[in-house]
Structure 1
Amino acid sequence: MRRLKKILKITIPILGLLVLGLCIFLYSLTPVYEGEANLKNLSENVDVYYDSYGIPHIYGVSEKDATRALGYVHAQDRLWQMELLRRISAGQLSEIFGEDLVETDKLFLALGIDDYSKETVANLDPNSDYVLLTEAYLDGINQFIEEGPTPVEFYLTGVKKRPFELKDVYNTIGYIGFSFAMAHKTDPFLTTIKDKLGPAYLQDLSIETIPTSTYIKNYNPLKDTLQLGLSSKLASALKDLPLPMFEGSNSWVISPEKTKNGNVILANDPHIGFSQPSVWYEAHISTPTYKKYGYHLAGVPFPLLAHSRQLAYGLTMFENDDVDFYFEETNPQDSTLYRTENGWEKYTYKEKIIKVKGEDDVKFTVKSTRHGAVVNNVAASVTGEKPVTISWIYTKVENKLLSALYGMSHSETMNTFKRHLEDIHAPGLNIMYGDAEGNVAWWATAKLYRMPDSTNTKLVLDGASGKQERGEFLDFSENPHAENPTWNYVYSANNQPDTVNGLFFPGYYLPENRAKRIVELLKPKNDWDKEAVSKMITDVTSAVDPSLATSMAKDLDITNLDKSYIKLLDDLSKWEGEATVNSVESSVYQRWVFYMLKNTFKDELGDALFTQLLSTHFHKRLIAPLVNNTTSIWWDNVATEKVETSKDIFQISFEQAVASLEKQFGKDISTWTWGKIHTLEHEHPIGKVETLRKYFNVGPFPINGTKEVINNMSFTYDETGEYKVTSGPSTRRVIDFSDIENSISILPTGQSGNPFSSHYNDQAKMYNKGEFRKMMMNKEEIISTKKSLLIFKAEEK
């Protein structure tokens, strides 16, 4: 016992010192929100007032000073996020996460974003305003890297910090551009179906761009055999990305004629894959020449969403088709040549090296034609000898995107704002606009191009004949748009836009569900205010799902159904489509739809292709037309002798749905509530390690909403019966020009990406409840209510 006491006397103080040391170390990693700090290259001091949610309000005498301070404070909250974003396009994820990300790195290196960024930077005018401000922002980031604490993720992964440069900004923008594109998930998949099953199987998949009951109307007062390996491998190369991809969005802007106070109201909630930290970093900058409250991507100095006292803008995905795949023909006598309409041309070759954590470097060759990289060399599991190339408009046109973002954020009138939009060549965006003068507008921005007649751009094209090549670009004035329409609002829900010169432009548009609900709510009401719009932006009622449930239910044979299930069908017939956490109907409907899709498609497609179908946008678009198409070729189960009909599929799918819910929750139907299976967890890349999950991830939470309602909490169908939300509103913003200083917003988790910050998840509960907080703009109010003040001191002269 005496010996034990001696050991304890020695070990307890040592353990205490270790715990104290760990606490001090962890405290040293916390962002600094108050006090004074020296920042080189400032002309004058910069004051940064942090509000109660950790949002910086930056006041400087020059924009360059304020932007330099922005870089510093942005880095101290989001340096790890910045690091990951710049690595994706450069093919450098394997250096952090190991061999599992090699295929992802190969894909992005083959896309050529990194090479394109280098070329863009080499051709920049170093004295242009947007380049000088970007350099100031990067200087702020790099000063934090040199002097600030190292984020804990760098210690855990062993990654060394290194300075940021201009190319990193363009690589980040390039990744965002690719994450908008849908063709990489869709075109190879559809070509596989055509080659494997025949053209008839494409007809009922709703892939054509055709008139619908709800499409975005133009208004201008001045003018009124590919193998399975390719498609599955491209999909798998993206599934392990440690950062989210852009998925969709809602936005609407209401004219003064339809608002209670006679001023414009703008609402916007871009739908992006959920992650921790969340995508946007809020910052309010005020200088004598520039005043904006903006939402920034990590590593990009100019906001993609912003407002001032003069104007506001937001965005949604246009969903236009800007990626094409081509079959190439190699010369049988000389494998270095490929066929064109003008004869044989040489393949080009670039050697690439991928550094892999804990493994030898991976060396591979990117082989390209005039269209782009041969993806057979990227996707190792591709079978078949015919080369397939990927051609993306992003890398085919001069890159003016950073200049465009600068111009948009520095505009103060509708006309000057609009002039910068034609420089957005890719990704295709719907830019939503409103201002204090009463203007509302929507512009579809992208470099749209003509294709030869009868060319289906959703299939892999013929690269050898020259008959399916891109034609001339349309002038920006021909893009779909509406400026101050007579119906007094504009909106976008990623749904199909109106025609371009009488033709519907091809794209990967979402179904009309959200659009239909938005129009249904906006059209009859003429006294909109901020409170009503904030309620609308969290709406969880589907304008389509109840009618589909009724259509399927009317075909059921209830003779052998349990009475409780007949009662459930009666409840479904009265359901108005609300997807709340307490809804039983949502659980039953979504489970029923999953089994309907499974029983319709899996027999022809097999496991891998069916799983891929569920990852595409068009599977959402096909549900409503399919339910109402009794003659579809897909209804028959090819594995049985019987020829099944839609009624057979609806029947067996309903029985499987209720049986699976009963197995999951028991016989008491009242317990089958949506919140038990529809949950949201914000995953941090480090949180994938189970022992670290609770320290880095936020959630899980039961959550209102579902697929394709305004509060679009999307998920992927699978056999688990657990609908884990993967994407949704990355912010909700309501800008009211009748009371601009009290406009409101919310983030999904918090402003900071530092797990030791008090602002890491302080907005999560509010977000889940559909609540908002003020976006402060009044300097006196900001100072009087500030949580802290950080002063960046200029060097003494």
Structure 2
Amino acid sequence: MPPNTTASSGQKPGKSGRKKGHKARLIVLVLVLAIIGGIAYGAYWSISTVRASLPQTKGSITLDGLSGPVDVKRDSYGIPQIYASTDEDLFMAQGYVQAQDRFYEMDVRRHMTSGRLSEMFGKGQVDNDEFLRTLGWDRVAKKEYDTKLSASTKKYLQAYAKGVNAYLAGKDGKEISLEYAALGFTNDYKPEPWTPVDSVSWLKAMAWDLRGNMQDEIDRALMTSRLGPKQIADLYPDYPYSRNKAIVQEGQYNELTQTFEQGGSTSASGSTSGATGTSGTSSASTALQGQLAGLQDVLDDVPAAVGVNGNGIGSNAWVVSGRYTITGSPLLANDPHLSASLPSVWYQMGLHCRAVSSKCQYDVSGYTFAGMPGVVIGHNANIAWGMTNSAVDVTDLYLEKLSGNGYLYDGKTLPFTTREETIKVAGGTSKTIVVRETNNGPLLSDRDDELVKVGKKAPVDAAAPDRGDGYGIALRWTALQAGTTMDAVFAMDKAANWNDFRAAAALFEVPSQNLVYADSKNIGYTLPGRIPTRAKGVDGSLPQPGWDSKYRWTGWIKQGELPYEYNPSRGYIVTANQAVIDPDKYPYTLTTDWGYGTRSQRITDLIQSKIDDGGKISTDDMRQMQVDNSSEIAKLLVPTLLKIDIDDKDVREAQKLLEGWDYTQDADSAAAAYFNAVWRNILKLAFGNKLPKELRVEGQCLWVEKADSTGPVDEETKVRECGQRDPDQAQPDGGDRWFEVVRNLMNDEKSDWWTTPKGVGDRPEATNRDQLFKRAMIDARWELTAKLGKDIDTWSWGRLHRLFLKNQTLGTEGPGFLKYILNRGPWKLSGGEATVNATGWNAAGGYGVVWVPSMRMVVNLGDLDKSKWINLTGASGHAYSAHYTDQTSKWVKGELLDWSFSKDAVDKSTSDTLVLKP
């Protein structure tokens, strides 16, 4: 009998019981002391490390290689503005300053882009490295540097690398950041010198996350195992051009000159839209399913660079003509939607020549990436620009028919192009792989563990063995060809007008982006990029047979043929990942997978309503539009949900939250919490049990973290609070494609999509739309009761919709005390999926925030010093810096910081000045 049972009976514990109880107390005491000691040691260790790694921001430092002194002026948020007298000094100082603040982040990034994460983090990253080596980003970047980039760009990249290495000189790991000190516990990793190619490679990682419709290609192909053409068409509806306007509404394609021209819109012939499938035998179709299912698993594990592995991300950018603004000059807003990271993917800074001349050409301020010279988004003294992902289709997957010696192409067997890659592993044994390429690109399927692997020691010229059933998947992607995007960054930074900007944009080959433009009098939009053309009837919406040449790309859309607008008559331009142009007005198929225009049309409506009311738009109006929380799917569904007869008093109580709700998803809204739970359950019931299990999303609910909980949760509770679910069941992510799917099905109340089997407990089966909606309302009430409590007065959207900021390496995989040191949050957020304030969440995994407006800016072309900006986190990557997350609270509230640009304004806002001396 246990000692506590004996004691509770009123008897004294025996000798044996006393010893056991004493021993138990000792164990508890030792554990408590160990925990306290661990925290204390962690605190001492981290504080001492932080003191060694925090950058010097005052006084002076001598840097070999400078031709003259450089001033680094930081404001109260640690944002640097650099002043130099030559281009090379400017970019060398940029490299030094970014390394001061963010070198660990830079180092991780270059190891990711080169497929060398295992060198830092050990064997857990080998699979990722194998995949990244197969893509060969760093190889392409080196080819760009060697053969494509201009002499001036190379000079700037070299200067930047020189600045980074000047910072690294003489420092050991713990003097650079506490993460290196932590890595030192497990391996002897030491940072290498920075190279120009390290900077160029980051553009490939960015392009990968913004690559377009590759995931949709995979999903559509996998759907064919369970769904018919009509059902797949239901799930990929046509873009609603009549309701959600395309970006370019004015202008026409001239077939005679083969150019896109400004002016009134006219119809153009020759559209090649229309989905086509792969041709081939049934065995090829079966092979495709197997290969894609394996590839899906590989892709899920690849680390994201700026996005969420190519899924769900978007951005907002719009520009308003001066005739509709208070200042009489244009206003430009931008907020790219990327994955939440700590530190933020963006780095704010200004690069200023003391006197702009041929010797020193730059006077620019904005956002860039740590590890890359120049400014990617922002403004100079003459123009401003912003970006959103265009989503044009620049990737195609090809099913390849393989033999032991090569692959089939037009009836002939061609030899693979092969290379050997050796992956070094911290604390482990190196691994060698063979990368094989066809004329369509690298074989991604070779990295699937389910397929037969190449021998570790196979020489480069060895005949690789046949794989699996004789089929493989190759990737054709524009970013795997050397290009000139790095040239474009510097050209945009010094562009003085629309013509300069368009010429610079023509160099921006990958990733293809929507670029919005403004100067003091004009506004514009242009679509740059290396965009492939395909044979008539081939649109890239599904994987194609690689053995048939008719499915090969036929060329590139010429820059002069790409759509643009300049000073359109409506007085504004909105880009938010919607369709670029109506296909009836353009001869090329840019993609079949646009965003569906939910955000873009909401922004358009907000601008137009202001204009219709006769008002003038201010900088703060632009800011308020950026944080608009209105739910468009709620506007569609709530009137129907309120008509449904609910008997259960608890469910009726929740339903009443929707009465009078204005569809605004504020963090403190109980109605927003309930509606989003209903929406998630509608998706689960209508589509989740009908999709192929291969489409399942990692992290989907069997368990969604209980709001405000901190401790571990047992499996029984997970099932009870999340519902009885098939772990192999797929579920929609809930993005605006699903808005359109449900909108199109609303009038078909007896569609097969609305049918469900009998639910758990008293939740009934559904045979029509309203029955399914009723069941979703019941399930949502049950789910939120488990997560937020029975009292709906305590419910709020922010309790479900929370942002956690995690260091992307040791903050996710490191020991507990390191996670405590490196990570921040949670914050309760407003906004939601496909909302202008796009704090995205994935309905397949719960309500937590997955991607965010990674920064926000509003540029005032009438007075640049009255522009505003904010970053998700802060300037610093050092965990105990005052500037680690000092902008986050303001970002959460939708506030913006003053953005000084002129020398006088910068001087007034300067808190610290560091002089870099030659």
1:148-547 matched pairs, under 5 angstroms: 149-158=175-184, 159-206=189-236, 208-209=238-239, 211-214=241-244, 215-220=246-251, 222-223=262-263, 224=265, 225=285, 226-227=288-289, 230-231=292-293, 233-234=295-296, 236-239=298-301, 241=303, 243-245=305-307, 247-287=313-353, 288-289=355-356, 290-331=362-403, 335-341=404-410, 343-381=412-450, 385-396=470-481, 398-436=482-520, 438-499=521-582, 501-502=586-587, 505-526=590-611, 527-547=616-636
**1:561 alignment counterpart:** 648
Equivalence for 2:57: 33
Cα offset, 1:207, TM superposition = 5.2
**1:696 pairs with 817, 822, 828, which one?**
822
Letter in 2 for 1:773: L
Counterpart AA for 1:602:
G
Deviation at 1:626, TM superposition (A): 4.2
Checking the alignment, whether the CA contact within 8 Å between 1:366 and 1:373 is kept in structure 2 is yes
Aligned residues of 1:546 and 1:575 also touching (Cα < 8 A): no
Assess if the C-alpha contact under 8 Å between 1:510 and 1:621 holds in 2. Answer: no
Give distance in 1, aligned partners of 2:780 and 2:183.
43
Contact map agreement 2:335 2:853 (CA 8 A) in 1 = yes
1:649 offset after TM fit, Å? Answer: 2.3
Q: Using the alignment, how far apart are the partners of 1:642 and 1:116 within structure 2?
A: 55
Asked if residue 679 in structure 1 is aligned to residue 766 in structure 2, the reply is no
Q: 1:511 to 1:662 in 2, by over 3 A?
A: same
Residue 123 of structure 1: aligned partner = 147
* Aligned equivalents of 1:17, 1:93: Cα separation in 2: 28
Secondary structure at the residue paired with 2:491?
helix
SS in 1 for 2:804: strand
Task: Describe the shift of the 1:634–1:176 C-alpha distance in structure 2 as closer, same or farther (beyond 3 A).
Answer: same
Shift of 1:455: 2.4
C-alpha distance in 2, partners of 1:498/1:573? 38
Matched ranges for 1:77-156 at <5 A: 77-124=101-148, 128-147=151-170, 149-156=175-182
Provide the rounded CA distance (Å) in 2 between the counterparts of 1:542 and 1:693: 34
Tell me the C-alpha RMSD between the 2 structures.
2.6
Aligned residue identity for 2:102: R
Q: More deviation in 36-45 or 688-697?
A: 688-697
Residue by residue over 1:385-425, the C-alpha shift from the partner in whole angstroms, topping out at 9 and shown as x without a partner, is: 421111112113x4101011111111111111111212222
Aligned equivalents of 1:528, 1:390: Cα separation in 2: 46
Q: Distance in 1 between matches of 2:552 and 2:45?
A: 64
**AA of the residue aligned to 2:545:** D
CA contact (8 A) 1:68 1:138 kept: yes
CA contact (8 A) 1:497 1:504 kept: no
* CA-CA distance at 1:171 after TM superposition: 1.3
Structure 1: give runs of 5+ residues left out of the alignment: 1-14
Residue range with higher mean Cα deviation, 667-676 or 382-391: 382-391
After superposition, the C-alpha distances for 1:80-120 in whole angstroms (9 at most, x for unaligned) are 11111111221111222333322222222212222212222
Pair 1:589-2:675 in alignment: yes
More displaced stretch, 621-630 vs 111-120: 621-630
Q: Judging changes above 3 Å, is the alpha-carbon distance between structure 1 residues 211 and 336 closer, same or farther for their aligned structure 2 residues?
A: farther
| Aligned CA distance change for structure 1 residues 680 and 623 (closer, same or farther; 3 Å) | farther
- Distance 1:451-1:638 versus aligned 2 partners, 3 A rule: farther
> TM-score scaled to structure 2, two decimals?
0.80
Residue 181 of structure 2 aligns to a residue in which SS?
helix
Match of residue 696 from structure 2: 610
Runs of 4+ in structure 1 off by over 6 angstroms are 15-22, 638-643
Sequence identity (%):
25
Matched, 1:780 2:904: yes
Q: What CA distance in whole angstroms lies between the structure 2 residues aligned with 1:125 and 1:607?
A: 45
Matches of 1:153 and 1:394, distance apart in 2? 31
Supply the distance in 1 between the matched residues of 2:548 and 2:795 (Cα, whole angstroms).
57
Equivalent residue for 1:60?
A: 84
> Please, which of 726, 744, 760 is the counterpart of residue 625 of structure 1?
744
Contact 2:683 2:734 in 1 (8 A): no
Instruction: For residue 315 of structure 1, report the CA deviation from its aligned partner.
Output: 0.4
- How much has 1:507 moved relative to structure 2? 4.3
Deviation at 1:16, TM superposition (A): 12
Shift of 1:669: 1.6
1:180-227: per-residue Cα shift (whole Å, max 9, x none)? 014342212210111343323311112545635112233347344323
Please tell me whether residue 656 in structure 1 is matched to residue 779 in structure 2.
yes
1:422-458 Cα distance to aligned partner (Å, 9 max, x none): 222221200111111x111111222223222332422
Give the total of aligned pairs. 769
Q: Is the 8 A contact 1:185 1:616 kept in 2?
A: no
Q: Which residue of 2 aligns with 1:760?
A: 884
After TM superposition, the structure 1 stretch with the greater mean CA deviation from structure 2, 688-697 or 175-184, is 688-697
Amino acid at match of 2:666: T
After superposition, the C-alpha distances for 1:527-557 in whole angstroms (9 at most, x for unaligned) are 0011111111111112342222324554x34
Shift of the 21–428 alpha-carbon distance from structure 1 to 2, 3 Å rule, reads: closer
Q: Deviations over 1:2-49 (max 9, x none)?
A: xxxxxxxxxxxxx99999897554312111111110111111111111
One-letter amino acid matched to 1:680: L
Q: Report the equivalent of 2:456.
A: none
Bigger CA drift: 373-382 or 307-316?
373-382
Correspondence for 2:70 among 46, 58, 65: 46
Secondary structure of the residue that 1:755 maps to in structure 2? coil
TM-score, normalized by length of structure 1? 0.91
How far off is 1:752 after superposition?
Answer: 0.7
CA contact under 8 A between 2:872 and 2:888: conserved in structure 1? Answer: yes
Kept after mapping to 2: 8 A contact 1:209/1:505: no
For the residue of structure 2 that corresponds to 1:68, the secondary structure is: helix
Measure the CA separation in 2 of the matches of 1:282 and 1:724.
Answer: 27
Q: Which deviates more, 22-31 or 298-307?
A: 22-31
Secondary structure of 1:423's match?
Answer: coil
Mapped to 2, the partners of 1:448 and 1:616 lie a distance apart of 29
CA contact (8 A) 1:517 1:542 kept: no
For residue 406 of structure 1, what is the amino acid of its counterpart? F
The 1-side partners of 2:560 and 2:792 are apart by 55
Aligned counterparts of 1:352 and 1:20: Cα–Cα separation in 2:
41
Deviation string, structure 1 residues 481-537 (Cα, Å, up to 9, x no partner):
221100000111111121352565314322322112101101132300111111111
Between the aligned partners of 2:337 and 2:899, the Cα distance in structure 1 is: 20
Cα shift at 1:651: 2.2
Aligned partner (choices 820, 836, 839) of residue 710 of structure 1: 836
The change in CA–CA distance for 1:716 and 1:759 in structure 2 (over 3 A counts) is same
Please, which moves more after superposition, 730-739 or 354-363? 354-363
Relative distance call for 1:164 and 1:346 in structure 2 (3 A) is same
Contact 1:374 1:388 in 2 (8 A): yes
